[in-house]
Amino acid sequence: MNGLTFDIAHLLAGSLVLISFMMLYQDRLFALINVFALHAVVLALSVAWQAYIQDAHHLYITAGIALVFKAIVIPVGLHRIIQRLGIHRDIETAVGIGPTMLAGIGLVTLSMVLMLRVTPEADPLAREDLAFALSIILLGLLVMVTRRNAVSQVVGFMSLENGLVLAATGAKGMPLVVEISVAFSILIAFIVIGVFLFRIRERFDSVDVGALDDYRGERR
Amino acid sequence: MTGFSFDAVAAILFIPAGAAAILAVLPNYRMTAVVNVIASLLTLLAALSLFVTDRPAPGQYLLVDDLNIVFIVLNTFVGFTTSVFSASYIAHELETGRLTAPNLRFYHAMYQIMMFGMNLAFVSNNIGLMWVAVELATLTTVLMVGIYRTHEALEAAWKYFILGSVGIALALFGTILVYMAAQPVVGEGTNAMVWSVLIEKAAHFDPALLSVAFIFLLLGYGTKVGLAPLHAWLPDAHAEGPTPISAVLSGLLLNVALYAVLRFKLLLAASPQAIGPGPLMATMGLTSLIFAAFMLYRRRDIKRLFAYSSIEHMGIIVFAFGMGGPLANFAGLLHMVMHSLTKSAIFFAVGHIAQVKGTQKISEIRGLTESHPGLGWALVIGVVAIAGLPPLGIFMSEFLVVSSTFARYPWLAIPLVFGLLIAFGALLLRLTGLAFGEPRGGMAPVEASYVPMYSHLALVFAAGIYLPAPLVAWFQHVAGILG
């Protein structure tokens, strides 16, 4: 493999991990969404680069979806939802930023150690992509568990999904990548644009999932 | 079949998909309920025809083999009986105003899309396609769980959605890892995701990568099976959605995820150097069983009670498959079928009970056998069956699980029997309160559809007394495939 192409792919995947870290310490919803939009742009670049070096033209579709849908449509939609709901104040984080960052570092170490150890024979690019992807997935999970707000949980889920797309495009010649990214976009569109946030706002006047916890099922 | 060849696989996919499209535009709710039943019946017939027609050769996307036929037939059968139950249940919900006509149109269309997703997951030969199908089935059930739009229903749907998506994301990562493991051996492209190709060449895959992949897949699809540390969505989703959906969740959707786990277990078993999938599955199964057994005691909501019982039984089934070997696999398979039939019958009864009593609280329901003998006795038989008393079918399958455990790992049988007894006690304790004593709560007569629940219970009873030899031979054959 040509050194430069490898380095660029590496740089883009590494930036995604870095941006995932940036999400961990955002304490404003708008800022979080802006960081997510950046995440999606870098993902689109990374996927497009993969499409170029693997000469796999269908991956440009996935890159396009990431750019148009995740970097533009969803963030704009979320901005409007937040404005309409009037919740652009601080995010209630369930865990402090310090411990969250430490946990994030731990998770990235874990995924590097795990993935690099089990894939000694794989193509070095795919191998490092996979390690980065797992880091992004785990950091996305971390965002989801450390936030109590429904919007930021959705953002966490979307960043997790970006990690999956990175892994899928890194696996050379994997079929169904486009289909899977479309399926995921539909999933996200379902949540974001419609059903849940709408109904949650309608019923609770709040998108704080903590408000939902009033009901515990067994204490009626 | 004159002139054209009848393609059963296409039928079990296209009937639900086509029906969903029709149901989405039909305005009249009575008609939609009937169309829903007819479509489910046709799908069942198409599934049964798989026994007699020639099986298509495994393609890049679809596959019919001895393993998935069991699942498809069970799935379409329970799908059909549930649609019959759903018709009478939904009519009542409409009268009481809990659901409106547009809700119903949505509900019926979603029901068929869900059946499509589940059938597609069963017949898919491609691990990527299987993943998409499971996601589709999950998404439709999330929407249906939230259909009442109450606080509780929304929280349940949200929790289900979040946990389900995380599960499904982990499963996708596992799927990608399987592809990565297969790619150097099989080569790039679709073939490296085709299950029937993978299973032939699994011995040459990188064992470490395959092992890691299986852990992700077990966690991911295990979330959807409702295995213990990942089960949190399950009781809420069962309790807050419409009862027909509780019935298909417990009876069918859990099986879909289990089926996915089994396919990957086979893959792992074919690679001698990879970690053994058995101990992992057995541990998770046993944990779920014991955890759910204890949780049964503290339930105050009748649907939650049976949701925890589903976790318990999925635990037993996963444990049995984890043990492996012809006898344990046979027991697991039989237990899965028996559990699906019994649990959906129980939910049919519970649905009508909750409607006449106007509540799901166990403490407010008393003396059902006196006030509503038809429902009360169905519940009694159902709970006796699910608790594992002879002579019903679940007794036999549980007995087989326990005896095969004793024969091979006697020390594992101790926690297993312990969990079964704890659950047994809890269920009978609750049952005496619900079914006997002074009647309490609503006394209105009920227009219930008894046919689905009693036909399920009759099948479970018959299986407990006598299993036909061809059925035994068939299950033994499938158990042999499962290794």
pLDDT digits 0-9 by tens, B249-263: 888 999 999 999 999
Per-residue confidence band for B2, with pLDDT thresholds at 50, 70 and 90: very low
Higher pLDDT, B55 or B2: B55
> Does residue B302 carry a pLDDT above 70?
yes
Mark yes or no for CB contact B128/A179 under 8 Å: yes
* Residue B334 forms part of a structural domain: yes
Look at phi and psi of residue A173 and say left if phi exceeds 0, alpha if psi is from -120 to 50, else beta. Answer: left
In angstroms, what separates the C-alpha of A164 from chain B's closest C-alpha?
A: 6
CA B21/CA A65 separation, integer angstroms:
27
- The answer for A86, left when phi > 0, alpha when psi is -120 to 50, beta otherwise, is left
pLDDT value for B382: 93
Q: Which of A86-100, A147-161, B202-216, B361-375 has the lowest mean pLDDT?
A: A86-100
The total of structural domains in chain B comes to 1
B468: closest CA of chain A, how far (Å): 43
CB B226 within 8 A of CB B254: yes
Q: What is chain A's Cα-based Rg?
A: 18
Mean pLDDT of B76-90: 91
CA distance B386 to B395: 8
Where in the sequence is the domain holding B474, given as residue range(s)?
Answer: 276-482
- The mean-pLDDT minimum among A95-99, A104-108, A212-216, B229-233 falls in A212-216
Residues of A in contact with B179 (CB under 8 A): 171, 174
Are A114 and B212 an interchain contact pair (Cβ–Cβ within 8 Å)? yes
Nearest chain A CA: its distance from B144 CA (Å): 11
pLDDT at B239 over 80: yes
CB nearest A203 (choices: B149, B170, B239)? B149
A167 and B149 within 8 Å at the Cβ level: the answer is: no
> B209 and A209: CB-CB below 8 Å?
no
> Picking from A44-58, B28-42, B44-58, which range would have the lowest pLDDT averaged per residue?
B44-58
Substitution target from B103, B107, B179 for chain A, most A beta carbons within 10 A = B179
* Burial group, residue B65, by CB count within 10 angstroms (0-12, 13-18, 19+): middle
Nearest to A217 among B143, B150, B235 (CB): B235
Residue A166 lies in a domain: yes
Across B276-281, average pLDDT? 88
Q: CB–CB of B154 and A150 under 8 A?
A: no
- The whole-angstrom separation of Cα B57 and Cα B169 is 31
Residue B355 falls within a domain, yes or no? yes
Structure confidence at residue B399 (pLDDT): 92
Nearest to B301 among A118, A212, A217 (CB): A217
Q: Which residues of B touch A114 (CB under 8 A)?
A: 212
Distance CA B335, CA B460 (A): 10
Average pLDDT score over chain A? 80
- Residue A75, pLDDT > 50, answer yes
Task: Examine the pLDDT at A6 and tell me if it is beyond 90.
Answer: no
pLDDT at A204 over 50: no
Rounded CA separation B98/B93 (Å)? 5
Average pLDDT over residues B8-22: 88
What torsion, rounded to 10 degrees, do the Cα atoms A171, A177, A183, A184 define?
40
Q: Rounded distance, CA B285 to CA B277, Å?
A: 12
0.90 surpassed by complex ipTM: no
User: For the residues B288-308, what does the mean pLDDT come to?
Assistant: 91
Residues of chain B with C-beta less than 8 angstroms from the C-beta of A195: 143, 146
* Better-scored residue on pLDDT, A220 or B158: B158
- Contact residues on chain A for B217, CB-CB shorter than 8 A: none
CA separation, residue A1 to residues A4, A53, A123, B112 (Å): 9, 10, 10, 49
Is residue A19 over pLDDT 90? yes
Residue A58 sits at the chain B interface (C-beta within 8 Å)? no
> Under a CB-based contact definition with an 8 Å cutoff, are residues B337 and B471 in contact?
no
**Over 90: is that where the pLDDT of B346 sits?**
yes
Which three-class secondary structure state does DSSP give residue B319?
helix
Specify the pLDDT at position A135: 93
pLDDT band at residue A219 using 50, 70 and 90 as cut-offs? very low
Residue A208 has pLDDT above 60, yes or no: no
For residue B421, tell me if it sits in a domain: yes
A131 within some domain: yes
User: Which chain A positions have a beta carbon within 8 Å of B188's beta carbon?
Assistant: 172-174
- The overall average pLDDT reported for chain B is 88
pLDDT at B298: 84
Q: Do B477 and B66 touch, CB atoms closer than 8 A?
A: yes
pLDDT at site B372: 86
Position A205 scores a pLDDT of 42
| CB-nearest partner of A157 from B139, B165, B180 | B165
pLDDT per position as a tens digit, A37-72: 999 999 999 999 988 888 888 889 889 988 998 889
pLDDT at A89: 66
Examine residue B330 and state whether it is found in any structural domain, yes or no.
yes
Whether the predicted pLDDT of B423 surpasses 80: yes
A153 CB neighbours in chain B (<8 A) are 162
CB contact A157 to B (< 8 Å): yes
Given pLDDT bands bounded at 50, 70 and 90, which one contains residue B6? low
Domain that holds residue A144: 3-215
Q: What is the mean pLDDT of residues B80-108?
A: 86
The number of folded domains in chain A is: 1
Give Cα B222 distance to the centre of its chain.
13
> Nearest CB to B176: which of A141, A157, A167?
A167
Is A203 close to B151, i.e. CB distance below 8 A?
yes
Q: Report residue B449's pLDDT band, with 50, 70 and 90 as the boundaries.
A: confident
Question: Is there a domain that residue A62 lies in?
Answer: yes
Flag whether A94 is in a domain.
yes
Structure tokens at A211: 């408000």
Beta-bridged to residue B124, according to DSSP, are B62
In this predicted structure, what is the pLDDT of residue B401?
93
pLDDT of residue A127: 81
Nearest CB to A215 within list B143, B155, B165: B155
Inter-chain CB proximity B212 and A183 less than 8 Å: no
CA distance B191 to B184: 12
Q: Quote the CA–CA distance of B274 and B210 in Å, as a whole number.
A: 7
CB contact at 8 A, A151 and A78: yes
Tell which of B110, B125, B141, B173 to mutate to test the A interface (max A CBs under 10 Å).
B173
Over the range B460-480, which residues count as b (16 or more CB within 10 Å of their CB) and which as e? Answer: beebbeeeeeeeeebbeebbe
- In this predicted structure, what is the pLDDT of residue B76? 93
Q: What is the pLDDT of residue A46?
A: 92
Q: How far apart are CA A214 and CA B152, in angstroms?
A: 10
Radius of gyration of chain B (CA): 21
Residue A130 forms contact with B (CB below 8 Å): yes
Band (A134; pLDDT cuts 50, 70, 90): very high
Q: Is residue A220 part of a domain?
A: no
Q: Is residue B37, in this structure, part of any structural domain at all?
A: no
Least CB–CB distance from A175: residue in B169, B193, B236: B193
Does residue B315 fall inside a structural domain?
A: yes
> For position A151, what pLDDT does the model report?
79
pLDDT of residue B334: 93
The per-residue pLDDT for B264 is: 92
